[in-house]
């Protein structure tokens, strides 16, 4: 009997369409005023630097899918730091002022502080420093905080889904203790990080009992706590609407204990709705992409670990910029390809959720393009 050969197929590439974007025949110099079909400008770029993570959070990288046999990208498939920086410069010419590094878990990317140093040297079109931030699960922060600060990282967001150790270990599904993440947050404070944010994904029936303890813990601190509705990102997290706790309920629960009042966003297109404690002891935020779509103001593009541009967190198609980079295309050619993709952008998934138009479409995984 002949030996059976099972080819290794990266499920992301088989399920999610991607193509190399066309370069227009007529090239134009970017002017920082790029807008899509709905008039949405390009202001934010999220860059995934690795598809690997040391957690197996059930809403992002469930162990049943991301097991020891999962076909992660090889090092040669990843964008190099030089390629990431080159693309970042091109995006800045189109008006990007904020870059967030994500993953997977970005601190798993070897020498990530070198990339941060390269990006931190860039300036916006107005000559201001780039708003350079990073999202992490906090597991490596005690070790990395000083190097991140020294490299020029502006701000940081730490994911933390509860203070109860049993609940937290259950959600990260690798038995990682919550105390180590809290220690990482303290390490970030110690080295001088300001305006820290903590994101809590609220999954009804799993960790919603942690809302008040989390609010109480971070109240009157220099940390802004934000609650995120459990989202239907990708196809592997077993999303069910019955497990979504609306942000309005989160606010109601907190308001009953710690009275709140609504405050204005920091800038147009900010995804978090802001609330401050009436007693002046800080603020919280809620991100309601399930119950309150904010597509109309979305100014974010996403760059995957291997250099594909996505126009939405719930995208069903990617645009392969790495192919242009490695084909020797000039910055101006790549700039025009990006501009053409953005100008044709129509994405508004959260407004269409549940509609026939979205039925049976496979979305990119959050662990691949970052949250």
**Angle, alpha carbons 217-223-224 (nearest 5°):** 95
The 3-class secondary structure across 50-116, one letter per residue, is: CCCCCCCCCCCCCCCCCCCCCCCCCHHHCCCHHHHHHHHHHHHHCCCCEEEEECCCHHHCCCHHHHH
In a domain, 248, yes or no: yes
Q: How buried is 266 (Cβ within 10 angstroms: 0-12 exposed, 13-18 middle, 19+ buried)?
A: exposed
Domain carrying residue 98? 40-369
Domain count, the chain: 1
Query: What's the average model confidence in pLDDT over 83-90?
Result: 98
Look up the pTM and report it: 0.90
Percentage of the chain exceeding pLDDT 90: 71
At 41, list the tokens.
């400008």
| Residue 294 forms part of a structural domain | yes
Structure confidence by residue, pLDDT tens digits, 293-336 = 778 888 999 999 999 999 988 787 899 999 999 999 999 999 99
Q: Is the peptide bond before 115 cis (omega within 30 degrees of 0)?
A: no
Nearest to 87 by CA among 249, 307, 260, 319: 307
Q: Are 84 and 49 in contact (CB under 8 A)?
A: yes
Flag whether 211 is in a domain: yes
Q: Let me know if residue 2 belongs to a domain.
A: no
Q: How would you classify the pairing of strands 44-48 and 196-202? A: unpaired
For residue 16, tell me if it sits in a domain: no
Residue 318 belongs to some domain of the structure: yes
Is 31 part of a structural domain of the chain? no
Q: Whose CA is closest to 241, among 282, 205, 213?
A: 205
Look over the chain and give the mean of its residue pLDDT values, rounded to a whole number: 88
Residue 154, domain member (yes or no): yes
Predicted confidence (pLDDT) per residue in 268-300, tens digit = 767 889 999 999 999 999 988 777 777 888 899
Q: How many CB atoms lie within 10 A of CB 141?
A: 24
Domain with residue 159: its CATH number is 3.20.20.70
pLDDT tens figures, 64-76: 888 989 999 998 9
Strands (E), 294-335: 300-303, 308-310, 317-320
């Amino acid at each position: 009997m002949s030996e059976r050969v099972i080819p290794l197929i990266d499920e992301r590439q088989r399920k999610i369409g991607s193509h190399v974007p066309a370069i227009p025949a007529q090239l134009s110099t970017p002017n920082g005023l790029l807008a899509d079909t709905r008039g949405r400008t390009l202001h934010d770029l999220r860059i995934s630097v690795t598809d690997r993570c040391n957690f197996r959070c059930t809403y992002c990288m469930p162990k049943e899918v991301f097991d020891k046999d999962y076909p992660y990208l090889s090092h040669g498939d990843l964008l190099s730091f030089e390629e990431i920086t080159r693309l970042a410069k091109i995006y800045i010419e189109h008006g990007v002022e904020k870059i967030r590094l994500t993953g997977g878990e970005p601190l798993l990317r070897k020498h990530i502080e070198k990339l941060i140093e390269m990006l931190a040297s860039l300036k916006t079109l107005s000559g201001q420093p780039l708003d350079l931030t990073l999202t992490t699960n906090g597991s490596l922060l005690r070790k990395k905080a000083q190097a991140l600060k020294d490299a020029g990282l502006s701000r940081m967001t730490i994911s933390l889904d509860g203070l109860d150790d049993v609940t937290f270990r259950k959600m990260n599904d690798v038995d990682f203790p919550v105390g180590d993440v809290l220690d990482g947050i303290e390490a970030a404070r110690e080295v001088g990080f300001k305006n820290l944010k903590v994101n809590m994904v609220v999954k009804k029936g799993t960790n919603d009992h942690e809302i008040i303890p989390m609010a109480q813990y971070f109240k009157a601190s220099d940390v802004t706590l934000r609650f995120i509705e459990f989202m239907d990102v990708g196809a592997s997290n077993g999303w069910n609407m019955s497990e979504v706790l609306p942000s309005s309920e989160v606010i109601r629960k907190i308001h009953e204990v710690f009275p709140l009042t609504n405050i204005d966003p920091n800038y147009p297109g900010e995804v978090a709705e802001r609330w401050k404690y009436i007693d002046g002891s800080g603020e919280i935020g809620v991100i309601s992409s399930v119950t309150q779509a904010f597509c109309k103001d979305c100014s974010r593009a996403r760059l995957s670990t291997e250099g594909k541009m996505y126009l939405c967190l719930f995208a069903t198609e990617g645009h392969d910029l790495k192919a242009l980079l490695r084909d020797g295309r000039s910055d101006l050619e790549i700039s025009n390809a990006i501009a053409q993709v953005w100008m044709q952008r129509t994405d508004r998934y959260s407004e269409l959720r549940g509609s026939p138009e979205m039925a049976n479409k496979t979305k990119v995984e959050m662990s691949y393009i970052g949250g």
